[in-house]
Amino acid sequence: MCANEIESRVVSTDLAPGTPSGLGEKIARLLLAYSPLGSLVRWVSRLRASVHSKLLGAFLLIALLLIAMGATSLQSIASVARQSRLLDQARERVDASRQIEHALGLQMNFTRNALLLRDYATIESMFRENNRFRDTFDRLEAAAPPEQRETIQRLRTAQDKVMATVARIAALIREDKADEAMDLHLSEGYPLYREIATLVTRAVRTEESGMGRLREGVEATYRRALLLTGGFAAASIVLALGLGFVISWSFILPVRAADDFLAQVAKGAFEGSIDVPNRDEFGALAARMNHMSRELHQLYEDQRRAAHQLRALNSQLEQASRAKSNFLASMSHELRTPMNAILGFTEMIRDGLYGEVPPEIQEPVSDIHTCGKQLLSLINNVLDLSKIEAGHMELAVGEYVVEDVVNTVKLSLRSLAATKGLDLVTTVPGDLPLCLGDGKRITQCLMNLTGNALKFTREGRVEIRVEAQGDALLFAVSDTGIGISPDQIGSIFEEFRQADATVSRDFGGTGLGLSITRKLVELHGGRIWVESEPGKGSTFLFSIPVRVAQEASA
Amino acid sequence: MKTILYVEDNEFNRKIVRHLLGRTSYRLVEATDGEAGVATAREARPDLVIMDIQLPRMSGLEATRQLRADPATAGIPIIVITSFALAGDEEKAREAGAAAYLAKPYSPRELLGMIRELAPES
């Protein structure tokens, strides 16, 4: 993707990122867009608190509500219990009052019976009943609320008076003064009974109306407790849902924004940035992602620049290579053209085209020709090396016959060997297959090695030996020359090297032949090496595939 | 009498061929660049063309191609003199339609042999 196509984009939580759709999702979107929940979500996002604190706060809020609900319920239960106790007490008092009423009735009955029967025993049971009456009074007084105390006090006073009257009636009966007793009963006893009965009835009524109020209070408390509990439960549910919604969306939105943003970055749009309102871990994450994106963008730009530079450099190199190639071609031509004239004219003179050559200049003419040939050979070597260095050396791969190669070399160098008094021996097996390679270049290699061998050998022999070794051909050129010391063998195939600087003065040569030979052998996919012992002679060997791949080139 | 056209920009090399053919029955026509070579060939209708590969105004290969393409000159054998500069020169010479090629520096004796083979002296 080209950088120009990348638009700067800001991924924001306000955008609806590409996310799963569904009914729940739609509702959530509507809530976020049109309800205060949306702004609440943003507010929660902006809170400078960690995710942990936010969750803890939300759970704590719900827990507080539940605790409040529990407390209210407990309070209601306590209130109901207290009112029930009051109700029980009131009921007890009503019971006691009714007992008093009942006892009073009994007392009245006993008194009447005693008066009718004039029976002292009955009087006794009346007193007994009076004692039970007192117990009831004690119970009633203990349980009575303050406003009832006065009534009870009056009851007690009236009862005491009744008891005094009854005692007097009993005394009169005991003295057989029945009529007086009857009078006393009617004048004092009976009205007192009536008074007590009235008081008791009033007390009972008061209690019963109090009980009614208490009952209503209990019901009201119960209803209120029900309402409060229900309200708290509903509030808890709403709060839990609301907080869950707000907190989860305050997390979901940045996560989705991050997802979108990372998808863009993955597509190579490094110039965008992510913008979330969160000041929690998600905010930190977003900032980190923006940093990452900037770094990636920087790296991408660096890499693009580097690639651009590399392309420019490559094209420069290609241009330089073309220039070098053109230069080599024109140099080759420019050098050969005068050489052509020098060698051509010399050859024509020597061949007598211009008439008989006087004997005294026959040798100089021949020398000019020999030196011209040497100069040409040097030029060829320098050009070959330049071509190899520039990567323009190409092999003209074709079929060749090894025997022809060896014979060409032998014919070319026979006269040199003869001049130096050396034997030039060749050993080529007759059953060698037809080979594939650049015959001219292989000839050049063998010529270089054999020429060197002849050059560095003063007496003895030079042997060219060829043998097949599986898929490879081994060419070996042995001499009985000066040899090469072990420390010089390592660098013998490098350019401009001869084993010894003094050697070139004694034997001549530029030191290019071996280097070119090595490179030509390597172009054929082969290798070259030397085995030597100073003073005894050297053997140069190279091995190349019998059939060289067609496209071999430098 | 056979006519030989030699296209070569170097005066000394032209002189070699002039001297070489001077003692034969061949008639020599010379041109010093590719364009002139093609024009002279059309005009003089030589029996053989010796074409240097690197020439001013038009390369020897292009001149060879033009001569081969023209029905009037297509039958004339051409010897291309290569500089042996880069591998593939020979191949290019053959593709352009050369009958033979010779690498510089050539031996005059060898060139004469080639001329006699392609255009025998009558």
Whole-number pLDDT of residue B84 = 63
Residues B81 and B103: their CA atoms lie apart, in Å, by: 6
Extract the tokens encoding A172: 């009169």
Chain B residue numbers with beta carbons less than 8 Å from the beta carbon of A330 are 54
| A422 min Cα distance to partner chain B (Å) | 29
A203 close to A141: Cβ distance less than 8 angstroms: no
A341 close to B13: Cβ distance less than 8 angstroms: yes
Burial, B64: exposed, middle or buried (Cβ in 10 Å; 0-12, 13-18, 19+)? buried
User: Looking at per-residue confidence, does A18 or A442 come out higher?
Assistant: A442
Question: Is there a single domain that holds both residue A388 and residue A398?
Answer: no
Residues A63 and A67: their CA atoms lie apart, in Å, by: 6
Question: Is there a single domain that holds both residue A407 and residue A499?
Answer: yes
Q: Given a cut of 70, is residue A452 above it in pLDDT? A: yes
Chain A residue numbers with beta carbons less than 8 Å from the beta carbon of B105 are 336, 339-340, 342-344, 376
A489 close to A530: Cβ distance less than 8 angstroms: yes
Whole-number pLDDT of residue A20 = 58
Whole-number pLDDT of residue A10 = 53
Interface of A with B (CB under 8 A): 325, 328-330, 332-333, 336-345, 347-348, 351, 353-354, 376, 383, 387, 392-396
User: Looking at per-residue confidence, does A7 or A129 come out higher?
Assistant: A129
| Most confident listed range (A103-117, A416-430, A491-505) | A416-430
B38 close to B51: Cβ distance less than 8 angstroms: no
Chain A residue numbers with beta carbons less than 8 Å from the beta carbon of B16 are 340-341, 344-345, 348
CATH number at residue A105: 1.20.120.1730
Q: Model pTM greater than 0.90?
A: no
Q: Given a cut of 50, is residue A484 above it in pLDDT? A: yes
Nearest in space to A78 (alpha carbons), one of A222, A233, A228: A222
In a domain, A42, yes or no: no
In a domain, A5, yes or no: no
| A515 min Cα distance to partner chain B (Å) | 19
Chain A residue numbers with beta carbons less than 8 Å from the beta carbon of B12 are 338, 341, 345
Chain A residue numbers with beta carbons less than 8 Å from the beta carbon of B90 are 396
Ramachandran region, residue A397 (left: φ > 0; alpha: ψ -120 to 50; beta: rest): beta
- Across the interface, whether the CB atoms of B20 and A353 are under 8 A apart is answered yes
* CA within 13 Å, CB half, A403: 7
Q: Given a cut of 70, is residue A528 above it in pLDDT? A: yes
- As for how many domains chain A has, the answer is 3
CATH number at residue A379: 1.10.287
Longest CA–CA span in chain A (Å) reads 216
In a domain, A403, yes or no: yes
pLDDT tens, residue by residue, A58-116: 899 889 988 988 888 888 889 888 888 888 888 888 887 777 778 777 777 777 777 77
- Across the interface, whether the CB atoms of A348 and B16 are under 8 A apart is answered yes
Q: What is the 3-state secondary structure (H, E, C) of A61-83?
A: HHHHHHHHHHHHHHHHHHHHHHH
Residues A364 and A255: their CA atoms lie apart, in Å, by: 96
Question: Is there a single domain that holds both residue A385 and residue A487?
Answer: no
Question: Is there a single domain that holds both residue A414 and residue A380?
Answer: no
* Residues, chain B: 122
Whole-number pLDDT of residue B48 = 92
Residues A516 and A493: their CA atoms lie apart, in Å, by: 8
CATH number at residue A446: 3.30.565.10
Lowest mean pLDDT among A37-51, A86-100, A245-259, A435-449: A86-100
- Across the interface, whether the CB atoms of A347 and B106 are under 8 A apart is answered no
Residue of B nearest to A369 (CA): B107
Torsion, CA B36, CA B41, CA B42, CA B43, rounded to 10: 80
Residues A121 and A361: their CA atoms lie apart, in Å, by: 200
User: Which of A332, A351, A393 comes nearest B83 by C-beta?
Assistant: A332
Residue A312's pLDDT band (cuts 50, 70, 90): very high
| B47 min Cα distance to partner chain A (Å) | 23
Q: Domain of A315?
A: 269-392
In a domain, A24, yes or no: no
Chain B residue numbers with beta carbons less than 8 Å from the beta carbon of A343 are 105, 107
Between A and B, how many CB-CB pairs are < 8 A?
79
pLDDT tens, residue by residue, B71-85: 888 889 999 888 765
- Chain-centre distance for alpha carbon A533: 67
Q: Given a cut of 60, is residue A7 above it in pLDDT? A: no
Residues A508 and A502: their CA atoms lie apart, in Å, by: 9
- Across the interface, whether the CB atoms of B20 and A343 are under 8 A apart is answered no
- Across the interface, whether the CB atoms of B105 and A353 are under 8 A apart is answered no
Residues A335 and A261: their CA atoms lie apart, in Å, by: 67
- Across the interface, whether the CB atoms of A353 and B104 are under 8 A apart is answered no
Residues A81 and A62: their CA atoms lie apart, in Å, by: 29
Residue ending a domain, among A392, A407, A424, is A392
User: Which of A336, A353, A354 comes nearest B105 by C-beta?
Assistant: A336
Question: Is there a single domain that holds both residue A80 and residue A201?
Answer: yes
Beta pairing class for B3-7 and B48-52: parallel
CATH code that applies to domain B3-118 = 3.40.50.2300
In a domain, A51, yes or no: no
- Across the interface, whether the CB atoms of B10 and A336 are under 8 A apart is answered no
Question: Is there a single domain that holds both residue A285 and residue A429?
Answer: no
Residue A506's pLDDT band (cuts 50, 70, 90): very low
Kindly list the distances between the CA atom of residue A283 and the CA atoms of A173, A245, A266, A273, A361, in Å, as whole numbers in the listed order.
108, 19, 21, 13, 101
| A330 min Cα distance to partner chain B (Å) | 8
In a domain, A261, yes or no: no
State chain A's mean pLDDT as an integer. Answer: 82
Residues A253 and A37: their CA atoms lie apart, in Å, by: 13
Residue ending a domain, among A371, A392, A413, is A392
Determine what percent of chain B is predicted with pLDDT higher than 90: 32
A74 close to A228: Cβ distance less than 8 angstroms: no
| B51 min Cα distance to partner chain A (Å) | 13
- Across the interface, whether the CB atoms of B10 and A387 are under 8 A apart is answered no
Residue B18's pLDDT band (cuts 50, 70, 90): very high
In a domain, A493, yes or no: yes
Q: Given a cut of 80, is residue A233 above it in pLDDT? A: yes
Question: Is there a single domain that holds both residue A385 and residue A503?
Answer: no
pLDDT tens, residue by residue, A338-379: 888 999 999 999 888 888 889 999 889 988 988 888 888 888
- Across the interface, whether the CB atoms of A333 and B107 are under 8 A apart is answered no
Question: Is there a single domain that holds both residue A345 and residue A465?
Answer: no
Residue of A nearest to B111 (CA): A344
- Across the interface, whether the CB atoms of B90 and A396 are under 8 A apart is answered yes
Residue ending a domain, among A349, A367, A392, is A392
Question: Is there a single domain that holds both residue A69 and residue A149?
Answer: yes
In a domain, A248, yes or no: no
User: Which amino acid type is present at position A436?
Assistant: L
A404 close to A439: Cβ distance less than 8 angstroms: yes
Question: Is there a single domain that holds both residue A347 and residue A401?
Answer: no
Extract the tokens encoding A2: 């080209």
Residues 39-68 of B with CB under 8 A from A: 53-54
A130 close to A166: Cβ distance less than 8 angstroms: yes
Question: Is there a single domain that holds both residue A311 and residue A179?
Answer: no
Question: Is there a single domain that holds both residue A413 and residue A381?
Answer: no
Whole-number pLDDT of residue B29 = 93
- Across the interface, whether the CB atoms of B16 and A325 are under 8 A apart is answered no
Q: Does B106 touch chain A (CB under 8 A)?
A: yes
